[in-house]
Amino acid sequence: MINYKEYEKAVFEWLIQKHKKDSDFTFSLRKKGSKGAEEDYFIGREKSKYFGMTFWNIPTGGYPGSTGGCITLIFSYSKDTYSYRFEFVQSKNYNDLQNKSIIELLLKVKKSIESSIGFSYISPDENKKLILHTKQIKSSYTSLETMLVDVDKELNILIPAVNNAIAEIKLDNPEFKGYRFTTNEFNKMLNKLKKRLKTAPTKHSKTDQSTLIREKYSNWLKGNEKSNKVNSYLRAIEILNEILAKDIYLENDIESLTLLYKDLIKHQGNESGRYYYEKAPSYGNSGFYSASVKSFIDFLNEESIISTKSNKEFKPINQILYGPPGTGKTYFFKNELFEKYTSKQTSITKEQHFETVVGNCSWWQVIAIALLDLGKSKVTNIFEHKWVQKKASLSNSKTIRPTLWGQLQSHTVNECKHVNVSSRQQPLIFNKTEDSYWEILEEEVKELTPELYDFRDSVENYNPDPDKVVKHYNFVTFHQSFAYEDFIEGIKPILPENIEEAGDLGYRIEDGIFKDLCIKAKNDPSKRYAIFIDEVNRGNVSAIFGELITLIETDKRKGTKNEMSITLPYSKKEFSVPKNLDIYGTMNTADRSVEALDTALRRRFEFKEMMPNYNVIKSEEVDGIKLADVLKTINERIALLIDRDHTIGHSYFIGLDKKKKLANVFNNKIVPLLQEYFYGDYGKIGLVLGDGFVEEKKNKDLNFSSFKYEGKEDFITPTYHLKKVTSENIIEAVKNIFNTDNN
């Protein structure tokens, strides 16, 4: 459960999203922030655990405790559940025409929605006030998201009902004042709210902050520890707070907490030590002190309640590692960075796991799982199912209903007489009944796509595996045929099952690897994501990134000061790059098969040079020959003959403890690289490696044919040939590398 302020903010953001989609959707906001309510969005009281808003401006005589209108949507909550109701209230004591008309208005609305929404409370006729409370669709809600879907459903019924009733009242009383808030009125309220929030105190009192963190920690424990440990851990921290005369919940330094944990391990069981608590000695003897602090550290790391030293700045990273081949650029990714973007499954909440599963499912799979739950249903019921709603939120699509219709029809069995679509796609598992209900054929599911049951069970019975690693990154290698359609989005064919049906070939828009990762990062803002691009300069970077070349700039990301978005060409959807997505690349400076990196991309990345590191191989030896000295000598000669970008990396010489391995590296790695560098000029290779690898042939005994050609004797010059080294002669060949004209 979230607290009052988070609850209020979540509802506000939900309503704002509705307003952004339809500017005529308006609602009331708190006009003044009295002491303690400076950060409140709506009328209500945290102490009473409710807040509310109205959607109409209907002047009324009011009543004590009014939330600002005669028709109010009230949100409330208890320890474990959320609730809502529409509240209609009007005093009967007023004799003016406006207030009498309001009574008439409420009764008209009551009659209109009684069968569709219903009421949980209707005040007796003898009451001095008319009070009506609507029923909520479900008896209780543990999910705010599910409740808001139901609220939206009832708003779609109530708003037209009230608007129609107002129109009818105005026919009898043209002076009646009542209407939906205008866009201008709403914008004024919104601007005042923004101004108030900007100047409001941003920090809660220490007591409030401690209570908030304790509540979050308690909820985290319930999802990660056995139920009998939760209260013990909470009590252990309370005792420690008393013993240490400090509040552990307000400790913002993980290093300090770690030191406390280590000290507790050593001394918590000592009856004469500082942690002994006479009223409850078992907490120290049983190790609850150290266990609770350790779990609190885990909680802080996973929930990001505070910024640890390793993650103080949440600034996007755009970085390219560049250097000659073999300098450990890709190795650096795998051994230094991958772990940074990896977490254990135990740190994934049930909701996050649900998002991951739904995100990996196609639309037809999500619809099928919804129908497995619902049974025979209308499209509206399918649309409202939690799996479909989650898929809709992840896809950011504005055409959900057409998507549902299209997927249902294209996966309908051929025997169905009520779907007139010639092009069907496997698996065929849906059926439409004569009365326009949709159903799923479970026998077909069991035979054709039984994994749907596994997907559903993995969510309903989610049990985190402590040994399972969850990756928050993708690794991709660019090449000359890699395209925008692979990286961002493209139109891909839907191949028919039978080749004879090729005339009915269909197409769909498919997300690329980068766009897919952006969507995941956007929906999981508390974690950092990354894409690792190997050989970034081997692809046509301008074409691959397309119009996103600007959006990847660190200050143009979603949520930054200069955030930007664009409309994608295929899907026509608005798209931006989230700030919690980092971009890394590698670039081989010796690769002459590609041109220099695009200037536009260079401006948007920082570059880290990775050159040969001789210290890495300083202990590598074969028969007394120090391989670091060998590599350094080779590279000095290459740098003189070509440049430093074409030197050779240290990774080729790691782990060469035998002569056979050393010979293989020279034959299969070093020499082929030098052949490429020097365009087959074996004489220059000889200048680098010496006569142990290259031999000279004088050609003095070579004779040409009798064909007359002027100056043909000039062609009789020495040529150079490679010598293949083996485990028998490799040591002598390598020693010859050090031979010079001076020794």
pLDDT (tens digit per residue) in 577-615: 999 999 999 998 887 554 556 676 778 888 889 999 999
Indicate whether 742 belongs to any domain.
no
More confident residue, 660 or 225: 660
User: What does the pLDDT read at residue 346?
Assistant: 58
The backbone region for 462, taken as left when phi is positive above 0, alpha when psi lies in -120 to 50, beta otherwise, is: beta
| 729 and 693 share one domain | yes
How many other β-carbons are positioned within 10 Å of the β-carbon of residue 424? 19
Same domain, 123 and 210: no
Q: How many domains does the chain contain in total?
A: 5
Tracing tokens 């949507």 back to the chain, one arrives at 73
Q: Give yes or no: residues 446 and 534 share one domain.
A: no
Consecutive H or E run containing 83: strand 82-91
Question: b/e per residue, 486-524, with b = 16+ CB within 10 A?
Answer: bbbbbeeeeebeeeeeeeeeeeeebbbbbbbbbbbbbbb
Lowest average pLDDT, out of 245-249, 590-594, 665-669, goes to 590-594
pLDDT of residue 468 exceeding 80: no
In this predicted structure, what is the pLDDT of residue 614? 93
pLDDT of residue 284: 86
Torsions phi, psi for 651 (to 5 deg): -65, -25
**Shared-domain flag, residues 337 and 357:** no
Residues 329/323, Cβ–Cβ less than 8 Å: yes
CA atoms within 13 A on the CB side of 55: 20
- Strands 469-471 and 342-344, by their bridges, are antiparallel
* Same domain (yes/no): 409, 425: yes
Is residue 301 pLDDT above 90, yes or no? Answer: no
Angle at 638 between CA 635 and CA 643, to 5 degrees: 110
> Are the C-beta atoms of 687 and 736 separated by less than 8 Å?
no
Please identify, among 442, 460, 478, the residue that sits at the C-terminal boundary of a domain.
Answer: 460
Kindly state the average pLDDT of the residues 488-495: 78
Find the helix or strand (DSSP H, E) in which 229 lies.
Answer: helix 227-244
pLDDT-based confidence at residue 680 (cuts at 50, 70, 90): confident
Top pLDDT among 674 and 66 is at: 674
pLDDT in tens, 337-394: 888 888 765 556 777 788 888 888 889 999 999 999 898 899 988 988 889 988 887 7
CB-CB neighbours of 602 under 10 Å: 12
User: Measured between alpha carbons, how far is 632 from 623 in angstroms, rounded to an integer?
Assistant: 18
What is the Cα Rg of the chain in Å?
36
Domain containing 516 — which CATH number?
3.40.50
Q: What is the pLDDT of residue 206?
A: 57
pLDDT digits (tens, 9 = 90+) for 92-145: 887 889 889 999 999 999 999 999 999 999 989 888 889 999 999 998 888 888
User: Is 538 part of any domain?
Assistant: yes
Asked if the structure places residue 411 within a domain, the reply is yes
Comparing C-alpha atoms, which of 627, 615, 614, 612 is closest to residue 661? 627
pLDDT-based confidence at residue 641 (cuts at 50, 70, 90): very high
The continuous run of DSSP H or E covering 320 comes out as: strand 318-323
* Residue 143 Cα distances to 86, 87, 140, 375, angstroms: 19, 22, 9, 22
Structure tokens that stand for 704 in this block: 């040409």
Mean pLDDT of the region 662-679: 93
pLDDT band at 431; cut points 50, 70, 90: very high
- In this structure, the answer to whether residues 219 and 366 fall within a common structural domain is no
φ, ψ of residue 182 to 5 degrees: the values are -75, 160
When mean pLDDT is compared over 10-24, 187-201, 265-279, the highest value belongs to 10-24
Instruction: Among 175, 199, 223, identify where a domain stops.
Output: 199
Whether 743 is covered by a domain: the verdict is no
For 617-645, what is the mean pLDDT? 93
Whole-number pLDDT of residue 36:
62
168 & 210 share domain: no
pLDDT, position 81: 84
Q: What is the mean pLDDT of residues 324-346?
A: 85
Pick from 203, 215, 185: nearest CA to 38: 203
Give yes or no for residue 490 having a pLDDT over 80: yes
Same domain, 40 and 139: yes
| Residue 86 CA: distances (Å) to CA of 5, 70, 74, 189, 345 | 21, 10, 6, 22, 41
In this prediction, residue 558 carries a pLDDT of 87
- Predicted pLDDT of residue 506: 62
What's the CA gap between 241 and 284, in Å, rounded?
Answer: 14
Residue 251 falls inside a structural domain: yes
Q: Residue 243: which domain range?
A: 206-311
Averaged pLDDT, 397-410:
83
Residues 36 and 184 in one domain: yes
Is the distance from CB of 505 to CB of 447 less than 8 angstroms?
Answer: no
Segment 43-99, tens digit of pLDDT: 887 777 889 999 999 988 644 333 347 999 999 988 778 899 999 998 888 788 988
Same domain, 454 and 507: no
Q: Is the pLDDT of residue 616 over 50?
A: yes
Q: Is 177 a domain residue?
A: yes
Of the two residues 502 and 646, the one the predictor is more confident about is: 646
Statement to judge: residues 213 and 299 lie in one domain: yes
Residue 547 domain-assigned? Answer: yes
Tell whether 81 is covered by a domain: yes
pLDDT at 295 over 70: yes
pLDDT at 116: 93
Distances (CA, A) of 142 to 146, 188, 251: 8, 34, 31
Mean pLDDT rounded to a whole number for the chain: 85
**Res 502: pLDDT:** 45
Q: How far apart are CA 578 and CA 559, in angstroms?
A: 7
* Angstrom distance (rounded) from CA 428 to CA 397: 25
335 in the same domain as 304: no
